[in-house]
Structure 1
Amino acid sequence: MTKISLNSVAQCFTRELADEQYNPTLWTPRLPTEELLPKHIEFTNQNSERYRATVSGGLSQRTFGEGEFSGTIDIYRTQGVAQDAPVVVYIHGGWWQWFSKEQFGFIAEPFNQHGFAVYMPGYRMAQDWSNDAPMESILKQMQLAVAEILNLAVENRAPAVYLVGHSAGGHLVSMLHKTDWSEFSVTQEAQQKLKDVFSIAGLFDIRPLVNSFVNDSINMSSLSAEKVSPLLSGFPSNQTLSHLHLIVPEFDTPEFFRQTKEYHAKVIDSQQECSIFLASRCDHLDVIENLLDENNDVLAYLLKHMNA
């Protein structure tokens, strides 16, 4: 495989190099490339169907937003999880164009077991938006969803709300991390509910994807990619944001590592709290599958900072 410098200008990649550097299934030794995604889909579907059937009455749904930005949030609050329990918000991945919140219901299981209510907002796939700004639209939809959850946290007297996102979801929570919530009618009390933010295998500069397989269905422009890139947007002035955690799997691609390091440096330079955690012996997909293991290092890291 082609080795690249951490200082390379990634947005100038050829199509061939971008397709290689941003396809995590090419970089893990766990399974042959052609087996990874089918196995992941099988694992997530089976375990989510199992858990959704198990929780039964502990699963409810709430709507948010209006018009094309409306959506639903699956709420997992099993027996023993109090109304005023702390909240974990999970945003799924899939290059903004695949999968659904239902497919990742299994993620709620370990957090429910540790006393957290879990909220999973769904977003419209990039290729399904009728406008020419699907990426910005997905971000706005998730901002409306989290605004709903933050205000609901006040109503329920929940002490904290934590954001967790994987892959495309990792990118989205990084943008949510720096959102000005006053623009979404979130009260000051509700804004203070937002605690740590965890981006798992996320990306922070979307420009290299414009000339890659990822964009074949999305058709985002270079300008759109710039607007939704955390690396290229500023931070609110004179405001201390929640602690941002960047979790990178050991077997992710060199570009995921480069972007994680660059964004970590930017957040620190902006006088905000940010940490990097290496998910040892994990690749881009099993880093979330392994959360079902009570002894998993990533789960332990998440729970440690959520209980701090």
Structure 2
Amino acid sequence: MGRWQDMSGEELEEQYSPSRWSPRLDPDAVIEAHEEALRAGTQRARTTTHALLHVPYGHGDGEKLDVYLPADPSGTFPVLVYIHGGYWQCLSGVYLCGHSAGAHLAAMVLSTDWAEYGVTPDIKGAVLVSGVYDLEPILHVYVNDALNMSREVAQRNSPMLCLTGAVPAAAACEVLVAMAQYDSPEFRRQSQEYCQALRSAGWTVSLLDLAGVDHFDVIEKLSQDSYILTQVILNMISRA
């Protein structure tokens, strides 16, 4: 496949529309199934954990998070911060896990020079699933109709362009970049190139190509104990 710059507008629209690439269901149905899977998983989590819902971390209506604690929260335990996807619009010892646009946000956390803010987050690991790490192609597809990003904004917020060789957290943080077999070629290219860029910048990083899953069930299956990505995340946490 050639560079994204050589693609027509129609080709880019297709590449950055993950629902068109699922072999399981048609585009509308796979999104509906994904939303239902997330609702069901959330409900299961709320019935099996001690849940603190809609905790504000800012002043905006969308600046809230849900906290799920063990049923018996005594003792110490790792924290996994999950950032959902939805092209930054839909679905509204520390470890990061992000899916799709959520993987972009998690990658931006890794790219931030936290010394400027007077803090040193102890991020032990990050799992980036089917993410977008270079936003410039997004300028040319339907997603930007709502985002209205300029080229300067896209470049400033592209993890691929924010890496340096002197990231203090690089040595301590283990990064897993995961992609689905049925992600579009552009999504797969972005994962592969971002993984290589992290490695070149001195990060401890590995690439996981997950067979038999698309852009949506690649993350839905985390509720299954036997799913390889579930096992990889648990192993990453247990090694800390």
Normalised TM-score (structure 1) = 0.71
Q: Give 1:221's aligned residue.
A: 150
Q: Using the TM superposition, give the Cα deviation of residue 206 of structure 1 relative to its aligned residue in structure 2, in angstroms.
A: 0.6
**8 A contact 1:169–1:202 mirrored in 2:** yes
**1:153-164 → structure 2 map (5 Å cutoff):** 160-164=93-97
Alpha-carbon distance in 1 for matches of 2:167, 2:99: 29
C-alpha contact 2:165 2:202 (8 A) present in aligned 1:
no
> Comparing 199-208 with 262-271, which one deviates more in the overlay?
262-271
- The structure 2 residue matched to 1:233, chosen from 147, 162, 169, is 162
2:163–2:198 contact (8 Å) kept in structure 1: no
CA deviation string 1:185-239 (max 9, x = no partner): 32x4xx3x21111101101111001110111111111111111111112326263
Partner of 1:28: 22
Q: Distance in 1 between matches of 2:162 and 2:202?
A: 15
Alignment of 1:203-282 (within 5 A): 203-235=132-164, 237=166, 239-241=168-170, 242-282=173-213
Are 1:89 and 2:81 matched, yes or no?
yes
| Contact 1:64/1:70, CA 8 A, preserved across alignment | no
2:56 partner amino acid: T
Q: Distance between the aligned counterparts of 2:137 and 2:167, measured in 1?
A: 31
Cα displacement (A) at 1:68: 5.1
Distance in 2, Cα, partners of 1:49 & 1:303: 21
Q: Which amino acid aligns with 2:209?
A: L
Cα separation, partners in 2 of 1:83 and 1:169, compared to 1, 3 Å: farther
* Partner residue in 1 for 2:238: 307
Whichever residue aligns with residue 254 of structure 1, its letter is P
Q: 1:37 aligns with which of 15, 25, 31?
A: 31
CA–CA separation in structure 1 for the residues paired with 2:155 and 2:233: 30
Amino acid at match of 2:183: D
Where does the alignment leave 5 or more consecutive residues of structure 1 unmatched? 101-159
CA distance in 2, matches of 1:288, 1:11: 29
| Residue 276 of structure 1, CA deviation | 0.3
1:64 equivalent in structure 2: 57
For 1:95 and 1:70, the matched residues in 2 are separated by 14
Report the 3-state secondary structure (helix = DSSP H, G, I; strand = E; otherwise coil) of the residue aligned with 1:199. strand
Alpha-carbon deviations, 1:64-101, whole Å to 9, x = none?
34x5599333211031343521110111110001112x
Give the SS at the match of 1:290: helix
SS at match of 1:205: coil
Q: 1:269 to 1:73 in 2, by over 3 A?
A: same
Q: Which residue number corresponds to residue 113 of structure 2?
A: 180
Q: Distance in 2 between matches of 1:30 and 1:70?
A: 32
Q: State the alpha-carbon separation in 1 of the partners of residues 157 and 167 from structure 2.
A: 22
Aligned amino acid, residue 17 of structure 1: E
CA distance in 1, matches of 2:186, 2:149: 20
Q: CA–CA distance in 1 between the matches of 2:147 and 2:208?
A: 30
The number of residue pairs the alignment matches comes to: 236
Shift of 1:44: 1.5
Cα RMSD, aligned residues only: 2.0
Question: Which among 214, 219, 229 is matched to residue 283 of structure 1?
Answer: 214
Tell me which amino acid in the other structure corresponds to 2:222.
Answer: L
- Between the aligned partners of 1:37 and 1:69, the Cα distance in structure 2 is 24
**Structure with greater helix percent:** 1
Measure the CA separation in 1 of the matches of 2:211 and 2:154.
Answer: 30
CA drift of 1:33 comes to 2.4
Q: Which residue of structure 2 aligns with residue 292 of structure 1? A: 223
Q: Distance in 2 between matches of 1:295 and 1:77?
A: 22
TM-score, normalised to structure 2, is 0.90
* Residue identity matched to 2:168: Q
- Deviation track 1:86-138 (CA, whole Å, cap 9, x = no partner) reads 110111110001112xxxxxxxxxxxxxxxxxxxxxxxxxxxxxxxxxxxxxx
